[in-house]
Amino acid sequence: MATNPIVPLVEYENAPEPVRAVYDDIMRTRGTDWINNFWKVLAHDPALLKRTWEDIKQVMAPGALDPLTKEMIYIAVSATNGCEYCTYSHTASARTKGMSNEQLMELMAVVGMANETNRLANGLRPPVDEQFTPR
User: Which 3 state secondary structure label does DSSP give 52?
Assistant: helix
Provide, rounded to whole angstroms, the least separation between the CB of residue 61 and a copy of itself.
10
| Contact region with a copy of itself (CB under 8 A), list: 12-20, 22-30, 71-79 | 71-79
Q: Is there binding between residue 113 and a copy of itself (CB under 8 A)?
A: yes
Binds a copy of itself by CB under 8 A, chosen from 11, 29, 88, 97: 88
Q: Is there binding between residue 59 and a copy of itself (CB under 8 A)?
A: yes
Q: Is there binding between residue 57 and a copy of itself (CB under 8 A)?
A: no
> What is the Cα–Cα distance from 133 to 114, expressed in whole angstroms?
20
Q: Is there binding between residue 33 and a copy of itself (CB under 8 A)?
A: no
Q: Is there binding between residue 31 and a copy of itself (CB under 8 A)?
A: no
Q: Is there binding between residue 130 and a copy of itself (CB under 8 A)?
A: yes
Phi, psi angles (nearest 5°) of residue 126: -65, 140
Computed from CA positions of residues 89, 95, 97, 101, in that sequence, does the dihedral angle turn out positive or negative? positive
Question: Roughly what angle, to the nearest 10 degrees, separates helices 67-81 and 84-96?
Answer: 160
Provide, rounded to whole angstroms, the least separation between the CB of residue 8 and a copy of itself.
8
> What is the Cα–Cα distance from 3 to 63, expressed in whole angstroms?
37
